[in-house]
A = this chain, B = another copy of it.
Amino acid sequence: MFSKFFNLDIEKQNRIINAAMKEFAQKGYDRASTNEIVKEAGISKGLLFHYFQNKKQLFLFLYDYFMELLTNEIFKKIDLSESDFFLRIQQVSIVKMDLLKDYPELFKFVEIAYMESSSDVKEELDKRKKDFTNLNVNRIYEGIDVTKFKDGLDITKALKIITWTIEKLGEEALYKAKLSPHHEIDYDGVFKEYKEYIKMLKTCFYK
């Protein structure tokens, strides 16, 4: 299907993939412009449509490509036998941060793909979602050692509060980075704050 594309030198492949991903992430499917993609990738319009039949195929290719990359990266680096929830979720956070370093727009792309989905691609996208979402998301909560939590505690709620806090911390870090001069995330600062919150939540919820 995309064998022609994969015969390109990798550097060019990546230029195209990242340019397209960035454009879709910023503007969503409908508003994303193939003209902008080829300009950013430094190739001609014709070439893009030589490798990808049309805009829709390009988008779905990117979706598959990054979803596989994402799951591979996450489950390669996560130790699912770790039963302490805080350590488990810390692993996830670190993998996410690493990915965010290499592909700054990746999560926005995934979010776009998950939420909006213009009618053009919605149907194809929904097929793919069913195979993926809950399967992998819930695996992160599997095998957690609940005996560490205080007795009588609603553990589901506790896990949610912890997850939400960490998510919001990440969002805050991204927002701060956006306002900073070079749009860089202060990883050390974030991690330090992160550990402080974890400590607080542990005294809250652990025995």
Given contacts A31-B31, A204-B204, contact A196 B164 (CB under 8 A): no
Write the chain B residue with the least CB distance to A203: B204
What string of 1s and 0s marks CB contacts (under 8 Å) between A90-132 and chain B?
A: 0000000000000000000000000000000000000000000
Number of A interface residues at 8 Å Cβ cutoff, please give it: 17
A200 interface residue, CB < 8 Å from B?
yes
Residue contact A196 to B157, C-beta cutoff 8 Å: yes
> Is A34 positioned at the interface, with any CB of B under 8 Å from its CB?
no
Partner of A200, one of B158, B196, B197, B200: B158
Q: Which residues of A are in contact with B by a Cβ distance under 8 Å? A: 31, 153-154, 157-158, 160-161, 164-165, 167-168, 196-197, 200-201, 204-205
Contact of A157 among B154, B164, B200 (CB under 8 A): B200
Copies of this chain per assembly: 2
The reply to whether B200 and A154 form a contact with Cβ atoms under 8 Å apart is yes
Closest to A152 in B: B203
Question: Are A197 and B31 in contact (CB-based, < 8 A)?
Answer: no
16 extra interface residue pairs, beta carbon distance < 8 Å, beyond A157-B197, A161-B165, A167-B168: A31-B31, A153-B200, A154-B196, A154-B200, A157-B200, A158-B200, A160-B165, A160-B168, A161-B197, A161-B200, A164-B164, A164-B165, A164-B168, A165-B165, A168-B168, A204-B205
- Can you list the 3 inter-chain pairs with the closest CB atoms, starting with the nearest? A204-B204, A164-B168, A161-B165
Of listed A31, A165, A204, residue having the most chain B CB within 10 A = A204
